[in-house]
Amino acid sequence: MSPKVLVVGSGGVGAVAALSLTLNGKCETTLVVRSDHDKVVAEGYTFRSVTYGNFDNWRPVHVARSVADAATHGPFDFIVVTTKNIPDGPMTCEDIIRPAVSLQTTIVLIQNGIGIEGPMIQEFPGNVVLSSVTLIGSTNINCEVHNLHKDTMLLSPFNNPNVSAEIAQQKAREFADLYQNADEKVNKVILEESSLQSRWEKLVYNSVFNTICTIVELDVNRCQIFGSNELFNKAMNEVVAIAASDGVVIDDSTKEKFMHIGDGLFYSPSMTVDRMKKQYFELEVILGNPLRIAREKNVPCPVLETVYQLLKMVQLKMKEEKGAITINQQDYKGVNSEKYPEIFQATLHK
């Protein structure tokens, strides 16, 4: 019996993962599709993929409306999580996949950020959790998937003290086998011992450019033209310093590369697009977790701390606008109106 794989999250990355696993023919793939469920069942996806080719009306063998519904197609050997990772959002990734996790399930996180394995291992202590860092360049808009970059996956086990390293590495090799096409010119799975280096390097860009662009809702180039590269440089230096405190050495060329990687592209990072669409963004895994490490290791990060506080305000503002939290103004009435009546009035009405 071939292994059963559940793909959770049907954005650009999830849809391509379901396609790749299916085409490779070594497992039985179920894809959870929430909002587009009926459309996918009726019409399937349109793929325009430089990695896997073009397909019309394509769908995996099972399409489920929810993780709970998908459970009937299990138990799953692998659950591939491609959703955004927003622990401060309406639902954690752990809660999302829980209905489909069994004792033998290996959880594969195709997600950005650092420290994302922590809550997962806490919730599912006996399960293997794998890290996947992908370079893919894929969007799914209304069931039309455009994949413009060769699907390249850096795969490794996350460190889980409750699981033997051999078993974890074995699971990584098994998943690599399910995902890696026979012809390496098609896609490319690269097994790594640890994901720390790849994840920190990606953060040199994501913790800096994604976050700053999101605060001001501008593309990278405009931020650089309107502001100064000194700000980006200082922020990247802070990420490099946190990474060093976590044992990861990042070469100066990485900063230089990222500073100019978007020259002339006027590209808005996905976090910025999320904010523009009034969707929650991945603040904690991209910036909150690195800063928690920085505080633990006494790495001063005044720029990133400022950026983080501002984005916390933005995310909570969005929560209030969505009605997810309520501010009761009466709760915050201070005593200053009595203490400083003159200035109080002036501040109120100036």
Q: Which stretch binds its own copies (CB under 8 A): 80-88, 99-107, 177-185, 326-334?
A: 326-334
Is 295 near its own copies (CB under 8 A)? no
Neighbouring CB atoms inside 10 A of 8's CB total 27
Only one residue has tokens 């090799």, namely 173
Residue closer to its own copies (CB basis): 180 or 211: 211
Q: Fill in the per-residue mask, 99 to 138: x = in contact with its own copies (CB under 8 A), - = not in contact.
A: ------------------------------------xxxx
| Contacts (CB under 8 A) with its own copies, residues 250-289 | 257, 260-267, 270
Three-state secondary structure call for residue 334: coil
Roughly how many angstroms between the first and final C-alpha of the chain, as a whole number?
Answer: 74
CA distance 206 to 258: 10
Is 342 near its own copies (CB under 8 A)? yes
Burial of 50 (0-12, 13-18, 19+ CB in 10 A): middle
Three-state secondary structure call for residue 207: helix
Only one residue has tokens 């592209």, namely 265
Residue closer to its own copies (CB basis): 37 or 188: 188
**Binding residue for its own copies (CB under 8 A) from 41, 167, 216, 276?**
216
CA distance 212 to 216: 7
Q: Which stretch binds its own copies (CB under 8 A): 27-35, 94-102, 226-234, 280-288?
A: 226-234
Largest CA distance in the chain: 79
Q: Fill in the per-residue mask, 1 to 30: x = in contact with its own copies (CB under 8 A), - = not in contact.
A: -----------x------------------
**Planar angle of CA 22, 23, 28, nearest 5 degrees:** 25
Lookup: tokens for 194: 């640890």
Name the site residues for its own copies (rule: CB under 8 A).
Answer: 12, 135-139, 146, 148-150, 152, 205, 212, 215-218, 221-223, 225-228, 230-231, 234, 257, 260-267, 270, 302-303, 305-307, 309-310, 312-314, 316-317, 320, 327, 329-330, 332-337, 340, 342-350
